[in-house]
Amino acid sequence: MAAYIARRLLATIPVMAIVGIFVFMLLHLTPGDPAAIIAGDNATEQNIAAIRARLGLDRPLHEQFASWVWNTVRGDLGISMFSNMPVTKLVLQRAEPTIALTITTLIVAVTIAITVGVLAAWKVGTLLDRAVMGFAVMGFSVPVFVVGYLLVYVFSMKLKWLPVQGYVSIDQGLWPCLRNLILPSVALGLAYVALIARITRASMLEVLAEDYIRTANAKGVATSNVLLRHALKNAAVPIVTVIGIGVALLISGVVITESVFNIPGVGRLVVDAIARRDYPIIQGVMIIFSGVYVLVNLAVDLVYTFLDPRIRY
Partner 1 sequence: MTTAIIAADCPAPAIADRLRIFARRNPTIAIGGTLLALVSLAAAAAPLIAGDPIVFMPINRLKPPSDEFLLGTDSLGRDVFARTIYGARISLLVGLTVALFAVAIGLGIGLASGYYRRVDAVVMRLMDGIMAIPAILLAIALVSVMGSSVRVVIVAIAIPEIPRVARLVRSVVLSVRELPYVDAARASGSKVRKILLRHILPSTIPPLIVQATYICASAILVEAGLSFLGAGTPPEFPTWGNMIAQSRLYLAIAPWTIFAPGACLALVVLSINLLGDGLRDRLDPRLARRM
Q: What are phi and psi of 153, to 5 degrees?
A: -60, -45
**Which of the ranges 102-110, 195-203, 216-224, 228-236 carries the binding residues for partner 1, by CB under 8 A?**
195-203
Which residues in the 78-137 window bind partner 1 by CB under 8 A? 137
Count the residues in the chain. Answer: 313
Choose among 240, 234, 245, 250: nearest CA to 303. Answer: 240
Write each residue from 27 to 66 as x if it is in contact with partner 1 (CB under 8 A), else as -, in one continuous string.
x--x---x--x-----------------------------
- Under rule CB under 8 A, residue 69 binds partner 1: no
Dist. CA 253–CA 188, nearest whole Å: 6
Choose among 283, 253, 243, 246: nearest CA to 101. Answer: 253
Q: How far is the CB of 91 from partner 1 (least distance, A)?
A: 13
According to CB under 8 A, which one of 4, 65, 82, 149 is a site residue for partner 1?
Answer: 149
**What value, to the nearest 5°, has the Cα angle with vertex 41 and ends 39 and 43?**
50
- Under rule CB under 8 A, residue 261 binds partner 1: no
According to CB under 8 A, which one of 5, 26, 49, 302 is a site residue for partner 1?
Answer: 26
Dist. CA 226–CA 217, nearest whole Å: 7
According to CB under 8 A, which one of 72, 88, 102, 283 is a site residue for partner 1?
Answer: 283
Residue 76 or residue 272: which is nearer to partner 1 going by CB? 272
According to CB under 8 A, which one of 6, 7, 9, 17 is a site residue for partner 1?
Answer: 17
Residue 16 or residue 213: which is nearer to partner 1 going by CB? 16
- In sequence order, which ranges of 123-235 are alpha helices (DSSP H)? 127-141, 144-151, 174-208, 211-218, 223-225, 233-234
